[in-house]
Chains A and B, each alone.
Chain A
Amino acid sequence: MKKLAALFAFALLLAAQGASAQTLKAVKDRGMLNCGSNGTLAGFGLPDAQGNWTGLDVDFCRAVAAAVLGDAKKVKFAPLTAKDRFTALQSGEVDVLARNTTWTSSRDTTLGLNFTGVDYYDGQGFMVRKALKVNSALELNGASVCVQQGTTTELNLADYFRSHNMQLKTVTFATANEAVKAYDAGRCDSYTTDASGLYAERLRLGNPADHIILPEIISKEPLGPAVRHGDDQWFDVVKWVLFAMMDGEELDLTQKNIDQQMSSTNPKIKRFVGTEGNYGEQLGLPKDWAVQIIKQVGNYGEVFERNVGQGSPLKIDRGLNRLWTKGGIQYAPPIR
């Protein structure tokens, strides 16, 4: 019934909306950003006990709201499952999809959406019980693997076992919750998803210490936000919010010091905070758009550490997600 209603609404919206939607104007008029997020993944998108949304993707949406509306709190989060997420973005239900979504060519070209960047370089891994005494994914021949439906994970899994001539029994579930629950109940030998997701889900298992994450990373999973195809202005805004978060980190602008840095004489910082040039205006945003991001949400590094890094229960090493200046591959074009 829900699906039928969604399809109906989808058809109506398609008919009503047209392709060149003025998302930026719509968001400003509404005074609220609609953000499609994961509702069940610690570190990326999860409401806490008080109903406050937390996570890397969640904070990205807050940053967009801070830049566009000047208030990071003006975000309405829509929790989406992996298989419903694209429909929600296509139909206009959400303005931005920030839901640990892997950027692939077919998604970029055939789903009517555009990826705006990579906010987390990830890769697919496997979690198994310690008791199985498995040390490598290559020992999983004949294993049952629980996986979430509608993900790149589902396809990589089949690829990996096939290319290593291993037998595989897949058990597919509509949501990550169900897949993890079935793994915990012993239905599968292994649960597979992006490595970041494995760390997050492991914390929710009955006894996290009984499970290990195998060393193999079997795929490239660049996770990033996406917007609807055909609205270049909005595409630019969302793209540059992420760049600003990274540029902010590169310039050592933090939530704490941004107020003092407003009077900085460093030309890079002057352009960033809007005391020189009119870079905000060019994007259709207020002059202090980047300042609001850093002040209200923080730079990329702060957001990373708070949600998935050392400041979080996940304690994921930054690895590839370090800035290029610190040995990682996160690299943002300059604001100028």
Chain B
Amino acid sequence: MSSEQTGIRPPRVPLYNDPRVRSVIYQLALAAIIVFLVYGATTNAIDHLQRAHIASGFGFWNETAGFNISQSLIPFSSTISTYGTAFWVGLLNTLLVAALGIVLATILGFIVGISRLSKNWLVSRVASGYVETIRNIPLLLQLLFWYNGVLKALPELRNSYSIADAIYLNNRGFYVPEPIARPGFGWVELVFVVGIVASVAFYFWARRRQMQTGQRAPVLWVTLGLVIALPFIVLLLAGVPIHFESPQAGRFNISGGIEVVPEFAALLFGLSIYTAAFIAEVVRAGIMAVSQGQAEAAYSLGIKPGPTLRLIVVPQAMRVIIPPLSSQYLNLIKNSSLAVAIGYPDLVQIFTGTVLNQTGQAVEVVAITMAVYLTISLVTSGLMNLYNQRMALVER
């Protein structure tokens, strides 16, 4: 390796003194030791598990689970679903809360971060108060606050807040009617897809025109019109082919409709609000890293504060923002495992909780869970690195 840097062929030396050969040998030796240690630890563990009559292996994956899960994105029944299905239910619940949490935290974080730099005294004080309060209180306590505090404040089932007997809010959750498509809804979907394609095309056309002529097109309004307004008009023309299944209040619970359980809401709020405080600081740092002269130059060219921020400052700030932003995303994903404390059925709660205990196979279950978190985190950080490469300063 060092010889590559120098670019000069080293003088003839005996093979065992050749730094390249040596480094290969050392690396091979190290690799062999690591492989041996891993192999030894694994066989030793398997051997002892067998001698202690503790079940091992992955046979449990296809056994019937026999327990219930409060929130599931895929069909799950205690009668027929397996531990494997329970794993997927947990994984999807983790991904759901992580993905929504990242979106919410990013939006809130950018708003707060930019507000903190506002010239408006009140806005910047409120933003800094938010950041300093939220990021200095442990996340676990915040989750417990959202779950227990908010749960206690909401009314019981019988005194639910309800709007038109269709939307309910009580300490069991939040219920809204579930839209169910009727024949004819396909047209709306078709127009929606066409609208997306058309607006993407319009975006590229507008960008090219701006590059060539400097004229700007109202991309935002055209996109909103194509993606939202047009399908809505078609929806009305087709005679609203949607049927809403309203939640029905039963003796104990509200059934039907879309249900948001309080555990999910508390976890989502807690994670988003906590991570947003960190993202706000990342955003503030990024914006402050952009030289003041950039904004002043824009103002002197007559560009308004809004477009200055959007077109000049933030794109440059993004280069500073993205790497620490990725870390915050990874933190949010990993922090979602605190779901355990408030009973949200995420991967850790279901898999290293109930499944581990019912099967007793701690080694396998914890290993799988760690591998899953590693994979999710590596994929996220890979995607963020790709984005970072695209946004990085291209030196010519």
Q: Does A associate with B in a complex?
A: yes
Interface residues of A (CB under 8 A from B): 3-4, 7, 10-11, 14-15, 17-20, 82-83, 86-87, 90, 106-107, 109-112, 132, 140-144, 149-151, 154-155, 157-159, 162, 167-174, 178-179, 181-182, 185-187, 189, 228-230
**Contact of B353 with A112 in the complex, beta carbons under 8 Å:** no
Cα of A312 to Cα of B317 in the assembled complex, Å: 67
Determine, out of B133-141, B189-197, B300-308, B356-364, the stretch whose residues face the partner at the interface.
Answer: B356-364
Cβ contacts B329-364/A at 8 Å (1 or 0 each)? 000000000001111010001001110111110110
| Residues on the B chain within 8 Å of A106, using CB | 360
**Chain B contacts with A in 31-77, Cβ cutoff 8 A:** 41, 44-45, 48-49, 51-55, 66-70
Within the complex, the shortest CB–CB distance from B25 to chain A, in Å, comes to 30
Knowing A7-B366, A142-B251, A187-B151, say if A14 contacts B356 (CB, 8 Å): no
Question: Quick one: which of A112, A132, A150, A155 contacts B66, CB cutoff 8 A?
Answer: A155
| Residues on the B chain within 8 Å of A158, using CB | 66-68, 78
**Contact of A181 with B148 in the complex, beta carbons under 8 Å:** yes
Q: Could you name 30 residue pairs across A and B whose Cβ atoms are closer than 8 Å?
A: A3-B352, A10-B363, A17-B48, A19-B51, A19-B52, A19-B53, A82-B357, A110-B360, A112-B49, A132-B252, A142-B252, A143-B253, A150-B357, A151-B357, A155-B67, A158-B78, A167-B255, A170-B68, A170-B69, A171-B261, A171-B263, A171-B343, A173-B343, A178-B341, A179-B343, A186-B171, A187-B151, A228-B52, A230-B51, A230-B52
**Contact of B151 with A3 in the complex, beta carbons under 8 Å:** no
Cα of A335 to Cα of B213 in the assembled complex, Å: 103
Point out which of B41, B68, B70, B79 has the most chain A C-beta atoms below 10 A from its C-beta: B68
B10 at the binding interface (Cβ < 8 Å): no
B214 at the binding interface (Cβ < 8 Å): no
| Residues on the B chain within 8 Å of A154, using CB | 67-68, 354
| Residues on the A chain within 8 Å of B66, using CB | 155, 158-159
Cα of A181 to Cα of B171 in the assembled complex, Å: 13
Within the complex, the shortest CB–CB distance from B362 to chain A, in Å, comes to 5
Point out which of B54, B152, B356 has the most chain A C-beta atoms below 10 A from its C-beta: B54
B284 at the binding interface (Cβ < 8 Å): no
**Contact of B48 with A144 in the complex, beta carbons under 8 Å:** no
Number of A-B residue pairs at CB separation under 8 A: 152
**Chain B contacts with A in 352-391, Cβ cutoff 8 A:** 352-354, 356-360, 362-363, 366, 370
Interface residues of B (CB under 8 A from A): 41, 44-45, 48-49, 51-55, 66-70, 78-79, 148, 151-152, 156, 171-172, 250-253, 255, 261-263, 340-343, 345, 349, 352-354, 356-360, 362-363, 366, 370
**Contact of B251 with A186 in the complex, beta carbons under 8 Å:** no
**Contact of A90 with B54 in the complex, beta carbons under 8 Å:** yes
Knowing A158-B67, A172-B349, say if A143 contacts B52 (CB, 8 Å): no
| Residues on the B chain within 8 Å of A149, using CB | 349, 353-354, 357
Cα of A252 to Cα of B304 in the assembled complex, Å: 95
| Residues on the B chain within 8 Å of A150, using CB | 353-354, 356-358
Cα of A171 to Cα of B359 in the assembled complex, Å: 20
**Contact of A11 with B45 in the complex, beta carbons under 8 Å:** yes
In the complex formed, the residue of B with least CB distance to A228 is B52
**Contact of B362 with A10 in the complex, beta carbons under 8 Å:** yes
Point out which of B156, B172, B357 has the most chain A C-beta atoms below 10 A from its C-beta: B357
Question: Quick one: which of A18, A141, A170, A185 contacts B67, CB cutoff 8 A?
Answer: A170
**Contact of A168 with B52 in the complex, beta carbons under 8 Å:** no
| Residues on the B chain within 8 Å of A182, using CB | 151, 343
Question: Quick one: which of B53, B78, B366 contacts A162, CB cutoff 8 A?
Answer: B78
Cα of A117 to Cα of B178 in the assembled complex, Å: 53
Cα of A171 to Cα of B263 in the assembled complex, Å: 9
Knowing A7-B366, A19-B51, A86-B360, say if A168 contacts B68 (CB, 8 Å): yes
Knowing A15-B44, A144-B172, A181-B148, say if A187 contacts B52 (CB, 8 Å): no
| Residues on the B chain within 8 Å of A82, using CB | 357
| Residues on the A chain within 8 Å of B45, using CB | 11, 14-15
| Residues on the A chain within 8 Å of B370, using CB | 4
In the complex formed, the residue of B with least CB distance to A112 is B54
**Contact of B343 with A172 in the complex, beta carbons under 8 Å:** yes
**Contact of A18 with B151 in the complex, beta carbons under 8 Å:** no
Cα of A189 to Cα of B69 in the assembled complex, Å: 17
| Residues on the A chain within 8 Å of B363, using CB | 7, 10-11
Cα of A111 to Cα of B49 in the assembled complex, Å: 9
Question: Quick one: which of B156, B253, B357, B360 contacts A186, CB cutoff 8 A?
Answer: B156
**Contact of B70 with A169 in the complex, beta carbons under 8 Å:** yes
Cα of A282 to Cα of B345 in the assembled complex, Å: 50
Within the complex, the shortest CB–CB distance from B168 to chain A, in Å, comes to 14
Cα of A256 to Cα of B297 in the assembled complex, Å: 95
Within the complex, the shortest CB–CB distance from B184 to chain A, in Å, comes to 33
**Contact of A112 with B52 in the complex, beta carbons under 8 Å:** yes
Cα of A20 to Cα of B353 in the assembled complex, Å: 29
Question: Quick one: which of B49, B70, B151, B342 contacts A170, CB cutoff 8 A?
Answer: B70
**Contact of B262 with A187 in the complex, beta carbons under 8 Å:** yes
**Contact of B255 with A142 in the complex, beta carbons under 8 Å:** yes
**Contact of A185 with B152 in the complex, beta carbons under 8 Å:** yes
Knowing A112-B52, A170-B68, say if A143 contacts B358 (CB, 8 Å): no
Closest 9 CB pairs of A and B: A150-B357, A112-B54, A19-B51, A170-B68, A158-B78, A110-B55, A111-B360, A112-B52, A143-B252
